[in-house]
Amino acid sequence: MSKRPVALIILAAGQGTRMNSERPKVLHPLGGVAMIEHSLASGLALEPARIVVITGHGAEEVEAALVDHPVTCIRQEEQLGTGHAVAQARAALADFEGDVAVLFGDTPFLRAASIQKLLAARDAHDVVVLGFVAGTPARYGRLVTKGDQVLRIVEAKDANAEELAITLCNSGLMAADARVLFDLLAKVGNENAAGEYYLTDVPRLAHEAGLSAGYVTCDEAETLGINTRAELARAEAIFQTHRRAEMLELGVTMHAPETVYFAHDTYIGRDAVIEPYVVFGPNVTVESGAHIRAFSHVEGAHISQGAVVGPYARLRPGAEIDNDARIGNFVEVKAAQIHEGAKVNHLSYIGDATIGAGANIGAGTITCNYDGVFKHHTEVGAGAFIGSNTMLVAPVTIGADALTASGSVITENVPDGALAVARGRQENKAGLAKRLRARLLALKEQTKKG
């Protein structure tokens, strides 16, 4: 592959009317992130010198979603076709000398290797088109070729019978020298029914200018564009199928892999066990030998070796589960570190907290971390035992090896090794329960008669 600098132009201006959504099409989620993130990831693997994203419909939302990425956003104020969209990057790349690859924000499965193949072909051609052989090419534009040259691209609706028989189709992606591409785009006209400027005119114009327009191919599955909710659902199914197969190949045990859902960046170590109906959101790491039990939801969390999570557990962003810790059924953990061997086994909420090694959190325990304005921290020392139904009102510290009595509301720090009891004193009223029950039953009977 040539060592020429590379710039990427990612088209993300379309409204996506068939999505029937207020959200810009490229921001619809796939594998837990906006679909444009997949296009960016493939492009970033090439270590490009520049990335220009062309925005339009919902530009502010798209630009806000990309604020943490090394991209320059240029707005296409009027959507006048793909050629017009690419031309908007001319000023941003005026001083750039090298190759430009045009990608699409709604084509999430394109592999970095295919983009590299496209750019490598620039050694032999001035313009290179990425094509694919379609099983059912009906609606795709056709590449009309002669030898290794693309003579022109014909849309299916404009093709004659001979052209419709062609199975080599246009993905829409293209690479060229930056100056050549923009000079050719300046010659693209809009003499068509839609009055738009099409990027697909570039190969024909290249030949008319005495330049070479070639092509390379990729698998049809990589070119899947998403324009409808049905296509988005199909894409999600494809993504999940690939990720499940990858996890099994990496040595992850899944007894019902078809029920497990992954995000784009889920990492799971070998010999981990994932039970049915587990959902992973973005930014999850599960280390080797960990066990995620059924019906758990995990996002933004790190689960260490030997830890057991679930069933029916929820780990939210900032959850750090150390080696051999236990997070049980109907437990929620957020922005908290559960140290080695600690147990939170039943019906508890642990937020903005540190739970020491070997500590035991009883059923129904809640860290009361939010005062309506600020979040506060709870510290539970190593080996501490928190009795069932304890409310830990943060900020508060429970010392090492300390205990809290069941049903306590703890508002003050508890020293190491101390027992804290914070509940109303119990009084037994002799016979009162029997008399009260009799009164209530009489009232119920009177209500029926009335």
Same domain flag for 322 and 261:
yes
- Asked if residue 447 is part of any domain, the answer here is no
Q: Measured between alpha carbons, how far is 6 from 49 in angstroms, rounded to an integer?
A: 6
Same domain, 213 and 241: no
Per-residue pLDDT of the chain (450 residues; tens, 9 = 90+): 457 999 999 999 988 889 999 999 999 999 999 999 999 999 999 999 999 999 999 999 999 999 999 999 999 998 899 999 999 999 999 999 999 999 999 999 999 999 999 999 999 999 999 999 998 888 899 999 999 999 999 988 888 999 999 999 999 999 999 999 999 999 999 887 778 899 999 999 999 999 999 999 999 999 999 999 999 999 999 999 999 999 999 999 999 999 999 999 999 999 999 999 999 999 999 999 999 999 999 999 999 999 999 999 999 999 999 999 999 999 999 999 999 999 999 999 999 999 999 999 999 999 999 999 999 999 999 999 999 999 999 999 999 999 999 999 999 999 999 999 999 888 999 999 999 999 999 999 888 886
Which of 206, 223, 240 is the last residue before a domain boundary?
Answer: 223
Q: Which of 30, 176, 168 is nearest to 98 (CA)?
A: 176
Q: Which residues contact 375 (CB under 8 A, 6 or more apart)?
A: 335, 351, 352, 369, 394
309 located within any domain: yes
Say if 431 falls within a structural domain. no
DSSP 8-state assignment for residue 175: E
- d(CA 213, CA 125) in angstroms, rounded, equals 6
Domain at 376, CATH number: 2.160.10.10
Residue at 446 is within a domain: no
Q: What is the CATH number of the domain that holds 175?
A: 3.90.550.10
> Same structural domain for residues 102 and 168?
yes
Q: Are residues 147 and 178 in the same domain?
A: yes
* Same domain membership, residue 338 and residue 203: no
Which residues form the domain of 70? 6-223
192 and 338 housed in the same domain: no
**What secondary structure does DSSP assign to 33-44, as a single string?**
EEHHHHHHHHHH
Question: Which residues are identified as catalytic?
Answer: 346
Q: Which of 217, 215, 213 is nearest to 203 (CA)?
A: 213
Residue type present at position 85 = A
Q: Are strands 253-254 and 273-274 parallel, antiparallel or unpaired?
A: parallel
Residues 206 and 255 both lie in one domain: no
What gap in Å lies between CA 349 and CA 97, rounded to an integer? 56
88 and 142 both lie in a single domain: yes
> For the chain, what percentages of helix, strand and coil (3-state, to nearest 5) are there?
25, 30, 45
- The one-letter code for the residue type at 248 is L
Q: Residue 227: left if φ>0, alpha if ψ -120 to 50, beta else—which one? A: alpha
* Beta-sheet pairing, 419-420 with 149-154: unpaired
Domain count, the chain: 2
Q: How far is the C-alpha of 393 from the C-alpha of 390, rounded, in Å?
A: 9
Domain boundary among the residues 178, 200, 223 is at 223
